[in-house]
Amino acid sequence: MHRITGREGGDSLIEMSPTDSFNDDINGYHQHPSSSSGSLQQGQSGVDKQTQSKDSVFFRDGVRRIDFVLSYVEDKDGERKQERRNLYEANLEKVGLELETEDKSESEDGKTYFVKIHAPWEVLATYADVLKIKVPFKVNDIPDNREIPMNWLSTPFRLPEHIMQPEPDFFTAPFNKSKSDFFLIDDKDTFFPPSTRNRIVYYILSRCSYFRDECADKDKKGIKRLLNNGTYTAAFPLHDSRYWTRSRDANCESERYNLYNHWAKFLCFFKEQPLNLIRKYYGEKIGIYFAWLGFYTEMLLFAAIVGTICFIYGFLTYDDNQWSKEICSENVGGNIVMCPLCDKKCSYWKLNTTCNSSWQSHLFDNVATVFFAIFMGIWVTLFLEFWKRRQARLEYEWDLVDFEEEQQQLQLRPEYETKCTSRKMNRITQEMEPYLPITSKCARTCLSGATVLLWISLIIACIIGVIAYRLAVYAAFASIMKDSPTAHLEVVGPYITPQLATSVTASCINFVIIMILNLMYERVAVWITDMEIPKTHLEYENKLTMKMFLFQFVNYYSSCFYVAFFKGKFVGYPGKYAYMFGWHKLRNEECDPGGCLIELTTQLVIVMTGKQVWGNIQEALVPWLMNWWGSRKSRGHPESLYSRWEQDHDLQGFGHLGLFYEYLEMVIQFGFITLFVASFPLAPLLALINNIIEVRVDAWKLTTQFRRPVAAKAHSIGAWEEILNGVAVLSVVTNAFIVAFTSDMIPRLVYMYAYQPEGAMNMKGYINNSLSVFNISEIPVESRPDDDENPVWFNSSITTCRYRDYRYPPGHEKQYSHTMQFWHILAAKLAFIIIMEHVVFIVKFFVAWMIPDVPSDVRARVKRERYLVQEYLHNYEVEKLKIQLSQNSNECTCTPMIYPSLAKHEVLSECL
């Protein structure tokens, strides 16, 4: 084995020499005789397709496994691309990979060539050593003493043991090629699982060049670049079988079939997920996503139950709602004339017209809302802390304890290696490596930041446009709907109001704008992240994650923030209204007479539900339609004519950002159910129902509609964990402000305890107390309703109108200025915010302190395993040295005192 010379550090792959030797007789295993010839020529495929099934993951010899497949078609630029392919495939053979080409005449469409790649044992062993891949060396004999209380209750939700535990538990250690006989190598063909094999091959493909040694263009490297310039049309590892039936080849594991039957079918929605099988088939990165999604869904069950109870409480206390009774009463609400809600086109109206919206508001705006807001602040802490414990257990079980991001720092992105021409010494590896000059890095970062700010400004501009729409059309709806025939409908007529029509149409328009901006910004975010040239894959994902989440945060939540914290807060009063941008045609919007909380609920339901429905359609229906259309000619072909690589080629590519969008979707949903949950206690229930479907939809599309992704390692959910922590902290603040300023809870409590005229602990007289009086004659001419807009009951005898505020009446020495009750209510709101935040934060920090991030039994088992690994390695070295000494000296067979004989290790459960 030697390294390719004439290249700078970081660009070289390990080249396998034909003379390299490796012990082919390990643990009694003899390697299969196989040809290591290069790519088969197009005219040499003499295999009868009718006699040999092509639904197989092996070369034509039936021995060498297909670890990766490249496909290409010939086009008008064929000569240039063919030269690239020849050079690239020749370089792949130099590093030891074996290739076999399927001619286009063997393909279903008659146009596509398929290059099948096999990594022999020598290549796998070499790169497993380079990548420090952990492999088993001894069966784990540490007893698992965990006992789950009432374990029998979970029996209906369990899967068969061979699905949940597809392989035994082993002690593992990073593979060392020079100590290969230390590891449990029973069969070299199956020692590395297919997910590890395709990961190793992709590592080679990403770094292999397609230029001659004498060519100075170092930029010509990597399969990703060849896919981008059309040299190859696809590159993917193979599924091991069709998803609806087992493979006919007995050597195929058919794990895809097991995943489909026990995981991807919707009827399995109540079953546990086979996380170990998912990890074995797709790799740790996808496995940890489904573990997080499943855990998040389980925790949502508790939030959904409490939220539903709070909603039921609001429903059961429907008849105790004193203020709604006063609004609906002909003697109270029927005699209160309200000031117009907009200029010119809005008329005077009676308070009892808002009877229905007042009853609706009570369902969400009640005492239980405060309790639920506090509960969710604690729930989110429990969710994050228990997830850390679950994640720590998975790290141990999946051999990721010693897997740190620092290991990935040594694995540079191929794009970084090719685009950075400058070199400097790496202090860790003591090798020359590419780097990006600080001036170029600063310029790229500034341009990236400016682009992000530009797009956020665009979102805010769109939100302002929607607000302007609300202000402009409300007057139109008010004028049109006063004589609308819908007002006479018995059931729905009273609910169809100008406020509802404006709110619903504005929410729908806002949702459409959100989806359009999403499609546009996704490309922009990827472009500016590529422009920054991140050093590693981890850095690339973190940069893209922060950009996309920041954008999505503003995009999805800005309209909810407007309704919750700005709408109805800066409207002025009838004699001195506030106008948007000072333009007298757009008067600032007032809240619905039932309160702004019901409007926030409407906004939240439309955006959240619309996003989830659209997301499921986009995720499931679009890939299915594309696959159905792409494979329409091949569906009727028998297995012998429709090869495994052609079947997978017709599927959609998962892409390196496929998992990113799944996380993004769930984190945005997490924001909806935490940031604004005080306005809609049923939000966790909607999220729970969606996630039960989401788990199976994601499983179904990954198993049936997408090519098999390249396996990748990850020991956590990455930057998403910090984002979730940030959203959790922000949610305490937003819910406190919603209860204080959006809900009417605090004004009601202040009235009941301090301003109830009879001194009784009830809400009698609250409505009259909460409305101020204004003299109609003092309303400016430009704000008065047109004569034809006023209702028939309005006449000159009505001299005053009411509005929502706490101001002195006309004729008072401080007329139209705020009353002392206003300041008392404001002080109570601020006090509530401070008290609620401190209580929730104290409980959060106490809970976080009480719950350790790593379970004690996992911590003990990790230490125990590290000790055993060191001991077994020491014993191995001692035994190896004994053998060497006995071979080198037949005269002295005694063991040197510095290497004492060690007794065979026995595992004691007491050590745990």
Question: Is the whole-model pTM more than 0.95?
Answer: no
Q: Which of 128-142, 621-635, 886-900 has the highest mean pLDDT?
A: 128-142
Q: What is the arithmetic mean of pLDDT over 149-178?
A: 81
Q: How far is CA 478 from the centre of its chain?
A: 42
| Whole-angstrom distance, CA of residue 251 vs CA of residue 58 | 9
Instruction: Choose the weakest-confidence range: 299-308, 491-500, 585-594, 739-748.
Output: 491-500
Domain boundaries, the chain: 68-133+175-238, 300-410+580-632+658-707+714-854
pLDDT of 894 reads 46
pLDDT of 864 reads 82
| Whole-angstrom distance, CA of residue 808 vs CA of residue 132 | 77
The label of the residue with tokens 């496909």 reads 71
Task: Judge whether residue 26 has pLDDT over 60.
Answer: no
Burial 360-386 (b: 16+ CB within 10 A, else e): bbbbbbbebbbebbbbbbbbbbbbbbe
Amino acid code (one letter) for 732? V
Q: What is the arithmetic mean of pLDDT over 404-414?
A: 57
- Tell me if 567 sits within 8 A of 589, measured CB to CB: yes
Q: What is the pLDDT of residues 429-451, one digit of tens each?
A: 666 777 788 888 888 889 888 98
| Bridge partners (DSSP) listed for residue 115 | 70, 101
Q: What is the arithmetic mean of pLDDT over 682-694?
A: 93
Task: Judge whether residue 183 has pLDDT over 80.
Answer: yes
| Whole-angstrom distance, CA of residue 770 vs CA of residue 782 | 27
Q: How many CA atoms lie within 13 A of 416 on its CB side?
A: 23
| Bridge partners (DSSP) listed for residue 2 | 15
pLDDT of 402 reads 72
pLDDT of 386 reads 93
pLDDT grade, residue 867 (50/70/90)? confident
Q: What is the arithmetic mean of pLDDT over 322-331?
A: 86
- Tell me if 370 sits within 8 A of 744, measured CB to CB: no
Q: How far is CA 577 from the centre of its chain?
A: 44
Q: What is the pLDDT of residues 45-75, one digit of tens each?
A: 444 444 445 678 899 888 899 999 999 998 7
pLDDT of 101 reads 93
Task: Judge whether residue 371 has pLDDT over 80.
Answer: yes
Structural tokens at position 774: 């204004």
Long-range contacts, 859-863 (Cβ 8 Å, 24+): 860/912, 861/142, 861/396, 861/912, 862/396, 862/401
pLDDT grade, residue 801 (50/70/90)? very high
Structural tokens at position 586: 């757009």
Q: Which are the contacts of 29, defined by CB distance < 8 A and separation ≥ 6?
A: 185, 186, 187, 188
Q: What is the arithmetic mean of pLDDT over 724-747?
A: 90
Q: What is the DSSP letter of 176?
A: -
